[in-house]
Amino acid sequence: MRQAGFPLGMLLLFLVAYITDYSIILLIKGGNLSGTSTYQSLVNRAFGMAGYVILSFLQFLYPFIVGPENILAERHFVIMLTTILLILPLSLYRNIANLGKVSFSSLVLTIVILVIVVMRAATLGPLIPSTKNAWDFAQPNAIQAMGVMTFAFVCHHNSFLLYGSLEQPTINNWSRVTHVSVLFALFISAAFAVSGYITFTGYTQGDLFENYCRNDNLVTAGRFLYALTVILTFPIECFVTREVIANLFFGGTLSTIFHIVVTVCIVAASTGISLAYDCLGIVLELNGVIAAIPLVFIIPTACYLKLSEESWYHWDSIQSSVILITGTLMMIVGFVMAVIFPQDCSHGKEMFYCMPSNSSAYNVTVSANETYSQSPLFISSIL
């Protein structure tokens, strides 16, 4: 919202949601047209080995990228501990259906986090001064904003895995699941965007939780829950990354030993990156324009246009062509702008309105701590 401008940002959010919904269904239609059951085999059928290799790289890239007083508070130690005890065991599952309850738990936690953000919009927002031009219709970094939005919505890389897990995998059933899922994701994303932006306007950071005061106990509970959602989400992304490696180098099937070895290597490599880098904004931007936009805008539409026998003036052909051209331009322009105008990162820095000298915002945080630390929401959040 900060990069695109609030009104334009909301319109772009709805546009990305519509394109996501359309292209997910188009992807499965392309699979049915070509008689294929994976994203990679679909692209291989449509564009040969070159397309297959490019898609494999993008499918691997997108999910892969997703001085302390006490060692228990040191981020490197915490990352290593949670990786070994939680992320790796969940990632070792061989059937994606086994992660259904894990995924649902992540969804429930996301809703609790949203409640916390909305509560702080009401209590903290009025005390933070609005920045200049905060409510202008558009801002110059709208393309970068669309990259972040696309990153948030993309699920094409595991669509065939999920389609195959349906009890009755038909286009009609898949369309209903897709419509409901994308609509719900749009609602959650819009609620986070509106609540976060109206609270902080131009001060909004690439990681929303960086905006809140460090002594805010309720938000600290939200940070903890957010970390849990990431832990519970990563194993699903690991499935896709592992599948790409299995298809490229092992003929699509991994023995038990290689399954364990490949999973450990993937988790270890992504953990290494997370240990070395902690700025979220630029990661979302670059991954959005390099991987997410091709996976959502370009490849599904290109495959459909290649395989479909519909005339060029058919509505699906026209829509696919427009989305394909738009996605190509967004990827090029977005990459250039992300490199030239990268987001600032303020990881671990206290915002100015959290200082004791700014008594209004500081006092509301302190008083809210006294109230919410006794509330059922706060206690249940910590538990």
pLDDT tens for residues 129-183?
Answer: 888 889 999 998 888 888 889 888 988 877 887 898 888 999 999 999 999 999 9
356 band by pLDDT with thresholds 50, 70 and 90: confident
315-325 average pLDDT score: 93
Q: What confidence score (pLDDT) does residue 236 get?
A: 83
pTM of the model: 0.80
pLDDT tens digits, 272-295 = 878 876 666 667 777 888 888 998
Is residue 267 predicted with pLDDT exceeding 80?
Answer: yes
Residue range 164-178, pLDDT digits in tens: 888 899 999 999 999
Give 176's Cβ-side CA count (13 Å radius).
6
Residues of the chain with pLDDT > 70, as a percent, come to: 86
Q: How high is the pLDDT of residue 281? A: 63
Residue 361 contacts residue 124 (beta carbons within 8 Å): yes
**CATH ID of 6-66+71-382, from 1.10.287, 1.10.20, 1.20.1740, 1.25.40:** 1.20.1740
SS3 content of the chain, % helix, strand, coil (to 5): 80, 0, 20
CA distances from 360 to 107, 129, 227, 357, 365 (A): 34, 11, 29, 9, 9
Taking the domains of the chain in order of start, what are their residue ranges? Answer: 6-66+71-382
Helix axes 100-123, 171-200, angle to 10 degrees: 30
Query: Residue 373: its pLDDT value, please?
Result: 47
3-state SS assignment for residue 76: helix
Task: Name the band, by pLDDT with cuts 50, 70 and 90, for residue 231.
Answer: confident
